[in-house]
Amino acid sequence: MSKVIYKFGDDISTDIIYPGRFMATVLPSETPEFAFADEKDLNKLLNSKTVPADSIIIGGKNFGCGSSREQACSTLKGHELIIIAKNFARIFLQNSINLGLKTVICPDIDADVNDELEISEDKVFNKTKGKEYNIIPHTKTQQEIIQAGGLIPYSRKRLIEGSK
């Protein structure tokens, strides 16, 4: 079970997630420091190192819209967050899969900060509100890529398995 640490509305752009002025910093080990840099409370919380892995950020529609910067996903992956949104911008979603960022498409999600959520293959259960919401699942291959930690580890695994 995971806890919601922050809730956004619709149209959260990659510039909100990872502001363009930090584009000179591209190493996945360095990008997490700048996650939501202009959302001061959230940035401070994330950088406090007190947020457990698999904590949840809730988004509305079109999460990750804007530029195709990969750093918007790597900065979130660096904090080991789960992003649940009503839907995601196409390029952001593909970047998140390629990097192994846990994303959940849940069109009817209703959750607030501090709600405890449980995620199954096809539903999100809001234990705090006593409600459940259907998920639009990723394809089997997308799920395997995310579970492997991203496209590179997934491809490496497939190559090793194929050589046996």
What is the per-residue pLDDT for 160? 87
In the chain, where are the structural domains located?
2-162
Mean pLDDT of 84-94: 98
CATH 2.40.50.140 at 2-162, yes or no: no
pLDDT at 164 over 80: no
Structure tokens at 74: 């790597």
What is the per-residue pLDDT for 28? 79
Please, what is the average pLDDT of the chain? 95
Residue 131's DSSP bridge partners are 126
pTM for the model: 0.94
Mean pLDDT of 61-67: 96
Per residue in 4-62, pLDDT (tens digit) is 999 999 999 999 999 999 988 777 788 899 999 999 999 999 999 999 999 999 999 99
Mean pLDDT of 95-115: 98
pLDDT at 105 over 80: yes
For residue 162, name the pLDDT band (cuts at 50, 70, 90): confident
CA distances (Å), origin 94, targets 72, 153, 161: 12, 16, 24
Q: CA torsion, points 95, 97, 100, 104, in degrees to nearest 10?
A: 120
Strands (E), the chain: 2-7, 56-59, 82-85, 102-105, 116-119, 123-126, 131-134
